[in-house]
């Protein structure tokens, strides 16, 4: 624990960098990173938004831990300014961020995401909170066997042949969720044929 009674994440983490990977459904994921400035994850994410994406953001993350070390609640929010936001709204939000209770205790008190938003924007003159969209939030990886197959094909014929000759198969592990996918020789032969076909097409182009 730090001197303020919070979990001391920064000493546990030490120096490092924050890697942000966004899968926007394009061919390649968007990857950005910044050095860790504070070691407090929320502050570093806010720094990332400001320096890499030029979006002023308020980020708050919290986790409520019992004296026995059990996690009782956890969650967070990100508030981002649209371009050309009125100065009054900016200063209103800056002030509000200092005033609202810690996110960990709001969650522990059973507040819903809507309650928390209401809390943040309450009292903003001439403005009303409007919820335009909701989407479920979950820890889920978009990897799949088909995606792993494409990765293996992209390694090329020689590399796949090596896997067949030397390892009698190949294990591919997802970088994000650590799920392991096993490909036996028969499958690798099939992927090698696809790689052969792909290289033939590439040559003809």
- Shortest distance in whole angstroms from residue 176 CB to Zn ion: 5
Q: Vertex 102, ends 101 and 104: CA angle to 5°?
A: 130
Contact 12, 41 (CB under 8 A): no
* Site stretch for Zn ion (CB under 5 A), options 29-37, 60-68, 172-180, 185-193: 172-180
Residue whose CB is less far from Zn ion, 15 or 180: 180
21 in contact with Zn ion (CB under 5 A): no
Residue whose CB is less far from Zn ion, 46 or 143: 143
- Shortest distance in whole angstroms from residue 177 CB to Zn ion: 3
Q: Which of 36, 107, 116, 143 binds Zn ion (CB under 5 A)?
A: 143
Ranges assigned E (strand) in 36-107: 57-65, 71-80
Contact 29, 48 (CB under 8 A): no
141 in contact with Zn ion (CB under 5 A): yes
Question: Rounded CA gap, 187 and 88, in Å?
Answer: 61
177 in contact with Zn ion (CB under 5 A): yes
Interface with Zn ion: number of residues (CB under 5 A): 6
- Shortest distance in whole angstroms from residue 95 CB to Zn ion: 41
Q: DSSP assignment, residue 64?
A: E
Residue whose CB is less far from Zn ion, 36 or 143: 143
- Shortest distance in whole angstroms from residue 31 CB to Zn ion: 16
Sign of CA dihedral 21, 71, 137, 112: negative
Q: Looking up tokens 């001391």, which residue turns up? A: 8
Question: Rounded CA gap, 123 and 128, in Å?
Answer: 9
Distances (CA, A) of 155 to 131, 183, 198: 45, 14, 12
Q: Which of 30, 33, 176, 182 binds Zn ion (CB under 5 A)?
A: 176
- Shortest distance in whole angstroms from residue 154 CB to Zn ion: 17
Binding site for Zn ion (CB under 5 A): 141, 143, 174, 176-177, 179
């Amino acid at each position: 624990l730090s001197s303020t009674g919070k979990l001391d994440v920064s000493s546990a983490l030490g120096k490092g960098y924050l890697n942000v990977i966004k899968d926007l459904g394009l061919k390649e994921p968007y990857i950005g990173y910044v050095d860790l400035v504070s070691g407090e994850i929320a502050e570093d994410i806010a720094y990332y938004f400001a320096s890499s994406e030029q979006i002023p953001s308020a980020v708050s993350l919290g986790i409520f831990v019992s004296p026995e070390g059990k996690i009782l609640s956890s969650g967070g929010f990100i508030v981002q300014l649209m371009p050309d936001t009125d100065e009054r709204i900016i200063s209103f939000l800056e002030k509000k961020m200092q005033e609202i209770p810690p996110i960990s205790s709001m969650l522990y008190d059973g507040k819903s995401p809507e309650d928390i938003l209401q809390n943040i924007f309450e009292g903003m003159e001439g403005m009303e909170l409007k919820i335009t969209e909701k989407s479920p939030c979950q820890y889920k990886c978009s990897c799949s066997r088909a995606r792993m197959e494409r990765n293996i094909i992209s390694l090329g014929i020689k590399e796949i042949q090596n896997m067949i000759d030397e390892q009698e198969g190949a294990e591919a592990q997802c970088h994000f969720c650590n799920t392991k996918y096993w490909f036996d020789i028969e499958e690798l032969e099939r992927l090698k044929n696809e790689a052969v076909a792909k290289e033939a097409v590439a040559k003809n182009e």
